Every structure is written in C-alpha cells, then in structure tokens.
Amino acid sequence: MSSYKGHSIFALLLAIMFFHNPLLIALTFIGANIPDFDHKFKKDNVYKLIIFGLIIFISLYILKLPYYIGLIIVFLGVTFYFSEHRSFTHSIFGVLTLTSAVSLILIWGYELIIGITVLNNHYIILAILIAILSFLFLNRKLLMVFLPVFFVSLFLINDLDINYIQIVLALFLGVFSHIVLDSFTPAGIKIFAPLSSKKVYKNFALLSIFALIVIAIFCNVPLLFELFEQYALSN
C-alpha cells in the first residue's frame, strides 16, 4: 500500500509540473490525501467530519445563511463511511465525486465569507480556507510541514491570482494522483466501482503518468517560449 508520504510527494511533483501558484499546489497536495479516508483506521476522522458538517449546517441554518456547505461536508463524511477501502473513492466516479464535493465546499465557503464580511483580500481568504481543509484531511505529521511551508510560500510568491476552474483542476489532479499511485500496488484499484469490480494495475498507472506529462508539457509551452525569448534576448 502506498503511504501518505508517497502520495504527498507524488502529488507535489505533479503539482509543480502544472502550477506555479502555492494555493493550487497546496490544493493538489491536500487532494492526494483525501481518498484514503475510506480506510478503517481513519473512521474516527470520518465521524469528526460528519459532526463538523452538522455543526456548520445547524449554525448557518440558525443564522439564515446558505447552509448547503454543511450538507456537502456531511455528504462527504457519509461517502467515506459507507465506502470500502480502495473501492468507490478509488474509482473514476469517486475521483469526480470527491473533487466536486471538496471544490464546492471551498468555493461556497469563499463566497460566504466574501458575502458576510468586509474582508477584501481574496487570496488570504482562500489561504485560510485551504488551511482549514488541511486540518480536515492531512495527518499531524504532514500538517507540521505543510502549514509553515504553505504560508511562507504565500509571502515569497506574488502570483496568487486563481479562478474556480483552476481550483477544481488542482483538486482533481491531487485526487487522481492518489488512484494512479495505488494502481501500482499488487491489489490494484477498481477503476469503475461501484458499477464494476474490474481492476486496473501498473499499465493504467504508467499510461496515466505518460498522459499527465504530455499534458503538462503542452500547458507549459507558452512559458517555455517566454523563457527561450528571454534567453535569446540576453545573448
């Protein structure tokens, strides 16, 4: 079984290939650690997730604010609770479900804060929400490394402009990277669960990595041309 360290490092490498923004790299990193919440040893965290969602739901309902954020969090917890390890959450349908749910939590949370507060620094709001996500989905050992590096990077890198599509793509890349790495294991993954028990193994992982590298190169073509022009002008 791939460890959380392996999933985190793999996701970080992929994130650097696609993104140059610490917010998006952080989301990819967090996304890679989400699918394993279907594991039995993380059931206590799933309970906490459901309780947290219920508290958010009740609080927002009482305050007459959009309470569906809490419902999505509860839905996410219930999904993990009823999922067998390396079944639904490690399938294509699971990747899409987890990506959609976490993206909605982040985007709706952002819209809620913008709507009810006077905060106008959108990047700081997103950073705070991403930090909250890290507390929900990263273990303590990862948190001790992730949080200081994340907040320091926000001060070192000025390019923090992101949109909702990039948020979804970053989370998708992280969650998808998890099932790619797990398909290297002898047990494989049920790629079409719960509709099919068909498993995929190493060949799926290698093909996926090749496709991701090609896509990353294509996405970075404008940057490569810009670097080439700067080099040509300097010489």
What angle is formed at CA 107 by the lines to CA 169 and CA 111, rounded to 5 degrees? 150
- What average pLDDT does range 128-150 have in this prediction? 92
SS3 36: helix
Q: What single-letter amino acid sits at 192?
A: F
Report the pLDDT value the prediction gives residue 158, as an integer from 0 to 100.
66
Q: What single-letter amino acid sits at 193?
A: A
SS3 199: strand
How would residue 161 be classed by pLDDT, with cut points 50, 70 and 90? Answer: confident
- What average pLDDT does range 139-158 have in this prediction? 89
Q: Does 232 have pLDDT greater than 60? A: no
- What average pLDDT does range 107-112 have in this prediction? 94
Query: Which residues are registered as beta bridge partners of 189?
Result: 200
Report the pLDDT value the prediction gives residue 155, as an integer from 0 to 100.
84
How would residue 233 be classed by pLDDT, with cut points 50, 70 and 90? Answer: low
**CA-to-CA distance for 46 and 138, rounded, in angstroms?**
12
Handedness of CA 214, 215, 220, 221 (dihedral sign): positive
Answer whether the bond into residue 194 is a cis peptide, omega within 30°.
yes
Report the pLDDT value the prediction gives residue 44, as an integer from 0 to 100.
79
Give 203-213 pLDDT, tens digit per residue: 999 999 999 99
Bigger pLDDT: 82 vs 231: 82
Query: Which residues are registered as beta bridge partners of 199?
Result: 190
Q: What distances in angstroms separate CA 19 from CA 5, 35, 103, 159, one per listed residue?
A: 20, 22, 17, 11
Q: Does 100 have pLDDT greater than 90? A: yes
Q: What percent of the chain has pLDDT over 90?
A: 67
Report the pLDDT value the prediction gives residue 234, as an integer from 0 to 100.
65
CB 110 within 8 A of CB 168: no
Closest CA to 52 of 109, 123, 112: 109
Which pTM was predicted? 0.91
How would residue 1 be classed by pLDDT, with cut points 50, 70 and 90? Answer: very low
Phi-psi region of 196 (alpha: psi -120 to 50; beta: other; left: phi over 0): beta
Give 9-56 pLDDT, tens digit per residue: 999 999 999 998 999 999 999 999 999 888 776 777 899 899 999 999
The token pair that represents 133 in the structure block: 């996500």
Report the pLDDT value the prediction gives residue 215, as an integer from 0 to 100.
92
**CA-to-CA distance for 36 and 4, rounded, in angstroms?**
9
Most distant CA atoms of the chain, gap in Å: 65
Residue 36 burial (10 A CB sphere; 0-12, 13-18, 19+): buried
Q: Which of 141-145, 169-173, 186-190, 191-195 has the highest mean pLDDT?
A: 169-173
